[in-house]
Structure formats: C-alpha cells, structure tokens
Chain A
C-alpha cells in the first residue's frame, strides 16, 4: 500500500453508517424493532412503507433527534448512538426535513451562507452550491425571503442547506412530497450531484415509487416497525406481501 492510498482507504471506512439491531419504543408503543443495515459511501437506499410504519422516526433516531430504545448506530466505526443532532451534523450525518426546511424569515442567500458557515464549509462548497442554485431556478431569487418562494423551491432550498454542510451521510425525509411531476426530477438531479461531488451515501424515505425506482438500487420496506422486504426495487415491489402492506394506503402510495 502506498502512503497516498492509505488515507483514502481510511476515509471511506470512516464514512460508513452502520445501524445494528436498533429498536425504538414510545412507552408501550413499538415503532420499530431490531432494524439493521449498512450504508457504504456512495450507497443510495430507499426506505418505503405505509404511513405510520416508522420511517420518519427512523431518520429521527439516526440523526440524533430521538434516542433509540436499544441497539447501536456507528459512523465509520465510531459509536454515535444517541449523540446530539449538532454533534452528528458536525461528523457528517445530516438530515433534511419533511416540512420545516429553511430559515423562513431569511433570504435565500442568507440561508445558504448560514449553512456553509455553521458547518465550517469552504469556498469550494459555495461554488458547487452556485451550480445547484442555477439548476433549481434559485439563482435569480437569492434576495427573496425563503418562505415567500413557491413550495417546490423551498423544498429544494432545504435540500441545498443539507448539501451545504458537506455531509458524509444524507438522510432525506420525503424529499419529493408535495412536488409537481417536473419538480420531482430535481430530486434525482440533487442526489446524483451529491453523490458525485461529496461521495456521500443517501438514505431516502419516500412515497413516490417512481422516484424510488429511479434512484435506489436497494430498498427496505417497513411495515408496522418490521422490515418485511429488502433488496432491488424490481423484485421487492413485485412481492405480494409488500403490495398487501400498502392496501388501504392512498393511491399515490400504492406501488404501481
């Protein structure tokens, strides 16, 4: 091994997210149990399941907003179970939010500079963000107050704020929820860009099955806190138990 290779090998190991037998209960209510998976750098994994399956709680537990009842979460071999949100964010484990995405009273550019500054980002990050701002039609609205933007653009700005912290692991909570068809492909663009420029892994909780199929080589299906299927979308989404799990869900949640 040459000296130049050694740090790179260490770095990729340092970015691996490992979730081991994690259980979350609220009092007597079990949200999920014995959940385990690994995300290596560059991996994209989708988590799907009907409402109430525990998907957002899973993100909340991984990002440190809620402590797990049992189990272990590690990032690059370091135990990060129940570490606070800000510590994990500084270590590169960053989430986006389903609804609250941005600093609402602040302008678009102020939002971006805050995210870069708070996470100690460099000029390089700023340049990459400018590229993304252009792609998402945000570069002409830098002075607009962020909560005055159309909903779709607010969502994209929320994703950019997560990107601006240069994460190693990105946890996206329903990034396409509430977006129009054309806007949804921006999420694809964003995930591809984040993987290419940051080399990060991405965990996506989403109801849009087309998006999941396009983006995720691997998916995990949660139902009532259990993993009922795991694997490539084509196989998993064809399984009868997976389809049954969605019965009773609204139309756009049914795997087509």
Chain B
C-alpha cells in the first residue's frame, strides 16, 4: 500500500511538470494554430538561465527561477512578434521556423555551456516522511510551485479579459477579429506566456533530473504526446492527460521496470487514439 502511494506521489510530481509543459504547448496550438517544435528548447534554456544565474552570478535559486521564466517568456514573445507572426497561417513555414529556432537554441547552448551536464543541484534537500510514505523535499517544493502555477494559468485563462480574448481567438479567429481583437498583440503575448511556462518548468525540474543541451527532444515528445492524448488545443484535456501520463510513467517504471515506461505510454496513446481520434477531451475535428 505504501509503495503504491509513493509511486502515485511520483506520478503526481511528474504529472504536474508535464501539465505546465503541455499547457503551454496546447495554448500555442489552440490559439495560434502552430505546433511549437521549439517547446523543448525553451525548457532547456530555462534550466541553463537558472543555472547561469545561480552558478555565475550568485543569484538565489528562487530568483533565478523567476529570471529564467521571464527570459524565456521574453524570448518567446520576441520570436513570435518578429518571425512567427508574419508566417502564422502557413503551417509548413511555422513548422520549419519553430524547428529551426529549436536547433539554434540547442546549438547556442552547446556553444556557450559545452556538451557536458553542468553541476546544477537543487538548493534544498531532505525528505518528508509520514509512516512509510515519503517524498523528497525538492520534489515537494517543485510539485507545489507547479500546482500553484497551473491554478494561476487557469485563473488567467478563465477569469481575466486577457484569457477570455485568448480563448476567443482559439475558438474562432475571424469572429474574434470582427469584434475588434488584435491578434498582432495577443499572439506574441500568448506565445510568450507558453514559452515562459516551459522555461519555468525547466528551471524548476532540471536541478532534480538533469541538464544538458539535448534534453529538449524528450521534453517536446512528452508535451506532444500529452497534448494529443488530451485533445489538441484543449486546456483541461492537456492538464488531465499530463497527470495520466505522469501516473502511467511512474507505475510502469516501478512495477514493470524502467524501460517499459515509454513503451506502456505509447501503447496507451495508440489505443486511445484508435478509440477516440480527437483525444480524450478533444472536440471533433475543428472546422477550417
């Protein structure tokens, strides 16, 4: 029983991280209609910015995390505003552009920081225990920050005019524009919000897991799978799917062995997509 609870705690921790990544990914797809292949890059960059702040500038870790989130949000905003915005309706072009930007980011990080994983440790350690149930303190902190941020994203999207406008653009861009909404201002803001979430996750998680220039690939894969599972563009779907993915990964690696996690996950996604092609929470195929 305790083993089960401990595994579930790992699953929730993973789920919360994945939710932040997937929320950003699904916002960009839902609102801009763009598949952001650079999403993993912003995660890695967030990790390295936080690392550089702590290691080279001596900034306290919590502030470094905020700097990382703001820096990746700013970079996302600038990238959307100056590059992506001009090709926004050309799917092939946005694919090439985001993929290219990912390669530029990954290579830039490689040039600046080198290929080796830097020594980036979470500033606190220890374990919270209650009977046989335990959770490492750093996981607990990361989980709390992730959950608070998820709540924040929901409040932003459902209780502010900014969120209302973003959801309206996602629902129907021509109708939203006919009512006076300006995609030229809202799209970069949405993109920056999403990449800031990815950067924040990177800054929080990489000191626990690992930090290296190439880890963006698997982050992109997880974001993509989660969002497809939840239904492309769906906010609630992405969140729920992230926790499902986290649980599946945790339980299959504990009970089936480490390498079976990904296999179980992909099998599950395949089965679900056969049964429900638009994802667990997706609407039927969107109109043009």
A interface residues with partner B (beta carbon < 8 Å) = 63, 65, 84-86, 89-90, 94-95, 97, 100-106, 114-115, 117-120, 158, 161-162, 164-165
Contact = CB atoms under 8 A, between A and B. Distances in A.
Contacts of A105: 171, 283
A120 B283 CA distance: 30
B147 interface: no
B178 interface: yes
Given A85-B177, A90-B180, A117 B161 contact: yes
B168 A114 contact: yes
A170 to B, nearest CB: 11
B237 to A, nearest CB: 12
B99 interface: no
A117 B164 contact: yes
Nearest to B164: A114
A95 B161 contact: no
Contacts of B184: 84
B165 interface: yes
Interface in B202-246: none
B182 A86 contact: yes
A222 B168 CA distance: 35
Interface in B156-196: 161, 164-165, 167-168, 171-172, 174-184
A89 B180 CA distance: 5
Interface of B is mostly: helix
B257 interface: no
A161 B283 CA distance: 23
A58 B144 CA distance: 55
Contacts of A164: 179
Nearest to A146: B171
Contact of B175 (A84, A97, A117, A120): A97
Given A100-B287, A105-B283, A114-B164, A119 B180 contact: yes
A114 B161 CA distance: 9
A104 B284 CA distance: 12
A106 B171 contact: yes
Shortest Cβ-Cβ A-B pairs, 8 listed: A103-B171, A89-B180, A118-B179, A85-B177, A90-B180, A86-B182, A86-B177, A119-B180
Given A94-B179, A97-B178, A115-B179, 18 more contacts: A85-B178, A86-B182, A89-B178, A89-B180, A97-B174, A97-B175, A100-B172, A100-B174, A102-B172, A104-B287, A114-B164, A114-B176, A117-B164, A118-B179, A118-B181, A119-B179, A165-B178, A165-B179
Contacts of A161: 175, 178-179
B165 A118 contact: yes
A89 B181 CA distance: 9
Contacts of B167: 106
Q: Which of B172, B184, B287 has the most CB of A within 10 A?
A: B172
Contact of B171 (A65, A85, A90, A104): A104
A94 B179 CA distance: 7
Nearest to B233: A105
A103 B184 CA distance: 20
A103 B178 contact: no
24 contacts: A63-B178, A84-B182, A85-B177, A86-B181, A86-B182, A89-B177, A89-B179, A94-B178, A94-B179, A97-B175, A100-B172, A101-B175, A103-B171, A103-B172, A103-B176, A104-B287, A114-B168, A115-B179, A118-B168, A118-B176, A118-B179, A162-B178, A165-B178, A165-B180
B105 to A, nearest CB: 31
Nearest to A101: B175
Contacts of B165: 118
Contacts of A119: 179-180
Contacts of B168: 103, 106, 114, 118
Contacts of B177: 84-86, 89
Contact of B179 (A65, A84, A100, A114): A114
Interface string B232-268: 0000000000000000000000000000000000000
